[in-house]
Chains A and B, each alone.
Chain A
Amino acid sequence: MSEDCLGRKREALWLRSRIIQSIRRFFEGNDFLEVETPCRIPAPAPESHIDAVASGEWFLQTSPELCMKRLLAAGYPRIFQICPCFREKERGGRHLPEFAMLEWYRAGADYNDLMRDCEEIVRSVCREVLGSKSFLYQGRDISLEGPWPRISVRDAFFQYAGTPMEDALKKGLFNELMAFSIEPKLGIGRPVFLYDYPVELGALAMAKRSDPSVAERFELYIEGIELVNAFSELVDPAEQRSRFEKEMACRAAAGKAVYPFPQKFIDALPAMPPSAGAALGLDRLVMLFADKTEIDDVVAFPPEEL
């Protein structure tokens, strides 16, 4: 049964392999160092809604963020990594509890620079792998010609949810409206950047200089699918510590596991240059280029098949 299923994935798995090779060529061409950081770590970043899988006394990484930032702090200005990440109990049509992440960081950059990176990466992978400037997804032609439109989270709430962002936050409806009223409308026929998230929703993102109520954070959407999360990095150790403590308190209040404090990461922050980093869900990029609506169709082994 499952061997039949594997046979049917041949085309998607070949495409996946070519996409990964193309991504590596992009970063190599832009003078990035490919790094590998451990999957198994003692202290994942404390974030209210991201749950780590325990592995003995330690944890499987929910993202390689903290280790990669320590590399930035140690003087590696352009780094990238393609690695498995693990998030407990995340399973759905677009979620696997073990998924592939592409993460990259640039010293001396901010989130605007990473929006340009996103455009170039998706465009160059599409050109190399599909041989075109656009691609077909569920019967719709997706144009990648730039620059891609940008909409702030505040404007998206007005436009698609009919509710001010602040009200949604106060009433605890931010996630519902985002998931069911806003996200499905984003990036239809053309990618779009959703930017400037409420500062309390990005534990590791820097507040915007001209409006500290929001963080310099964006997400890239294509056809309603969230593909990239990125931000200008918070480099102030005191601020970072207090944000982590807030997240830990939220976790404790919700009855969730509270992880050990990532002290070595905080200790490295004073040496970290102003930087920006992005995380791209590799499986979802393959879904888009392979014209699939289910994440299971672009990995060889979803967990239920093991």
Chain B
Amino acid sequence: MYTASDLRKGLRLKLDGDPYQIVEFNFVKPGKGQSLYKCKLRNMITGAQFERTFRDVDTFEQADLRERKMQYLYKEGEQYCFMDIENYEQVFLTDEQVGDVKNFLIENMEVAILFFEDRPIGVTPPNSVDLLVVQSEPWAKGDSVSGNYKPVILETGYKILVPPFVNEGEKIKVDTRSGEYLTRVKD
């Protein structure tokens, strides 16, 4: 159980049966008045956002959210398939649930699957992943539009800016939180 004073940006809680995350948080208290907590909440299943103001007497259920380590197997149609390496149980996420993480998913990669109660609702990749450069324009000094970087395409289809010395067929390390190039990987 949470009380209103536990509310803060990033907190996850259960409202009307669904898990929500607080994406914006504002504490206000008119002179000598009641504490008010104005929150923007994002539904962790549908992605829908709404605003609600809570009072100091309000209490909240914790959302039963757990992460399990699983392996990404394959994509079929709109479904991404993941498997628990210990008991071989398989779960599926939709395109929408996977979202931008698709840019970093390669087969057999170990990821964290987020479950709300017993239902898979999202995936978090490792903080950095190594991905192969499959397409790179030859770089001529001086013709770059964005300073010392050039665009390349990775094995997942993700388009990213890298330094000019990175070549097709090489692997690079990518920060999955910012989506940016980190370093070149030597095998």
Chain B positions within 8 Å of A, measured between CB atoms, are 5, 26-36, 38, 53, 56-57
Contact = CB atoms under 8 A, between A and B. Distances in A.
Given A89-B5, A180-B53, A175 B27 contact: no
Contacts of A48: 34
Interface of A: 47-50, 89-95, 174-176, 178-180, 183, 201-202, 219, 226, 229, 254-255
A226 B34 CA distance: 15
Contacts of B29: 49, 90, 92, 95, 179
Contact of A229 (B31, B35, B53): B31
Nearest to B5: A89
A179 B36 contact: yes
B53 A176 contact: yes
Contacts of B28: 92, 94, 179-180
Tell me which of B26, B29, B36, B38 has the highest count of chain A C-beta atoms within 10 A of its own C-beta.
B29
Q: Sorted from nearest, which 10 A-B pairs have the closest CB atoms?
A: A92-B27, A175-B33, A89-B5, A178-B30, A175-B34, A179-B28, A179-B30, A229-B31, A49-B34, A219-B31
B35 A89 contact: yes
A92 B33 CA distance: 15
B5 to A, nearest CB: 4
B53 A95 contact: no
Contacts of A183: 30
A179 B33 contact: yes
A48 B30 CA distance: 13
A219 B26 CA distance: 21
A47 B29 CA distance: 14
Nearest to A47: B32
Tell me which of A91, A93, A175 has the highest count of chain B C-beta atoms within 10 A of its own C-beta.
A175
Contacts of A92: 26-29
Nearest to B4: A89
B5 A254 contact: no
